[in-house]
């Protein structure tokens, strides 16, 4: 399995899961990647059987596989990967109350490849007819928004007046509100996207069937009541692994097409994107 080393905690998480999976009869090992692009290329090429993918990496894996005459599917996902929303936030006293008011204003986003803090909210605004400038806060390019730094920088820029609006996922808005990065009453949610899904464990059809089946069965069988795996689940941010589904990626596919991030064959076409 491939996983992207977006944070040091990835090592204890997958080392812990690896021990548990081995003990439960699955021959399992993992490889760490510095970015999602190489991970999905290796997945489709069969160098790894499974990839712990961001939603954007899922979109690319699906396209690359289709172009190569293969197929991929989401084996499992975290319970916390379902039905996320992103929001566009403005200062409470800004006078921006509709999408029309964004005209000529600057919208702050996360990194160029962040589905939740850039691609999805910008697509949502554009489909709704809004016209605006974009200022990206590029932290952790290649990590598909796993690094929260860009969103936090955008939120700070919103408060300081550098940008008129900032994009972020609902969980980051909750975090920034609770920790005081966004002081109570200082900001207002202008608009939210539709619900979408986040990461999934992508498997490629060339992978051997039985270990993949067992992998899915063991992951979904992990119990939050098990004191050995609970700290790992806490670190990875889930309480249960659930079945993978493809229904939550339609908006991101559309955003990728509209913004020209990847072409239909999965080639990187985003301007200036160097993971």
Residues 129-158 that bind other proteins (CB under 8 A): none
- Going residue by residue from 204 to 223, which x/- string records binding to other proteins, judged by CB under 8 A? -------------------x
Nearer to other proteins, 227 or 272 (CB): 227
Contacts of the segment 92-98: beta carbons below 8 A, 24+ positions apart: 92/185, 92/186, 92/187, 92/188, 94/164, 94/188, 96/164, 96/165, 96/190, 97/190
Alpha helices by DSSP H, listed for 24-100, are 36-44, 55-67
Q: Which of 27, 237, 250, 260 binds other proteins (CB under 8 A)?
A: 237
Min dist. Cβ of residue 244 to other proteins (A): 17
N residues, the chain: 275
Residues 58-117 that bind other proteins (CB under 8 A): 79-80, 82-85, 87
Cα–Cα distance measured from residue 89 to residue 110, given in angstroms and rounded to the nearest whole number: 13
User: CB under 8 A: which stretch of 30-38, 65-73, 98-106, 176-184 binds other proteins?
Assistant: 176-184
Kindly state the smallest distance separating residue 78's Cβ from other proteins, in Å: 9
Give residues with Cβ within 8 angstroms of 74, minimum separation 6.
Answer: 58, 200, 201, 202, 244, 245, 246
Q: Of residues 32, 127, 174, 243, which one binds other proteins by CB under 8 A?
A: 174
Using the minimum distance from each CB to other proteins, give the nearer residue, 40 or 107.
Answer: 107
- Strands 31-33 and 2-4, how do they pair? parallel
State the minimum distance, in angstroms, from the CB of residue 208 to other proteins: 32
For residues 133-149, one letter each, b for 16 or more C-beta atoms within 10 angstroms of the residue's C-beta and e for the rest, the string is eebbbbbbbbbbbbbbe
Instruction: Work out how close the CB of 172 gets to other proteins at its nearest, in angstroms, rounded to a whole number.
Output: 8
Contact set with other proteins (CB under 8 A): 79-80, 82-85, 87, 169-171, 173-174, 177-178, 180, 182-184, 188-189, 192, 223-225, 227-228, 230-231, 237, 239-240
């Amino acid at each position: 399995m491939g996983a992207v080393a977006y944070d040091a905690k990835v090592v204890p998480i997958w080392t812990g899961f690896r021990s548990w999976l081995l003990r439960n009869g699955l021959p399992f090992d993992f490889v760490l990647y510095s970015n999602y692009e190489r991970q999905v290329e290796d997945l489709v090429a069969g160098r790894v059987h499974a990839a712990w993918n961001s939603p954007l990496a899922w979109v690319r894996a699906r396209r690359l596989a289709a172009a190569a005459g293969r197929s991929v599917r989401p084996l499992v996902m975290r319970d916390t990967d379902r039905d996320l929303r992103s929001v566009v936030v403005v200062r409470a006293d800004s006078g921006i109350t509709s999408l029309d008011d964004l005209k000529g204003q600057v919208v702050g986003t996360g990194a160029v490849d962040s589905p939740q803090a850039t691609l999805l909210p910008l697509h949502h605004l554009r489909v709704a007819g809004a016209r605006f400038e974009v200022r990206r806060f590029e932290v952790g390019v290649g990590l598909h928004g796993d690094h929260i730094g860009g969103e936090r920088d955008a939120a700070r820029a919103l408060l300081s007046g550098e940008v008129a609006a900032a994009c972020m996922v609902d969980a980051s808005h909750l975090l920034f509100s609770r920790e005081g990065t966004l002081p109570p009453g200082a900001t207002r949610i202008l608009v939210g996207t539709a619900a979408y899904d986040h990461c999934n464990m992508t498997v490629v059809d060339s992978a051997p069937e039985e270990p993949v089946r067992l992998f899915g069965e063991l992951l979904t069988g992990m119990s939050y009541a098990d004191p050995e795996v609970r700290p790992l689940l806490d670190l990875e941010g889930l309480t249960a692994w659930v079945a993978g589904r493809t229904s939550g990626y339609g908006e991101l596919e559309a955003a990728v097409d509209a913004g020209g991030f990847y072409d239909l064959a999965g080639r990187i076409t985003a301007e200036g994107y160097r993971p």
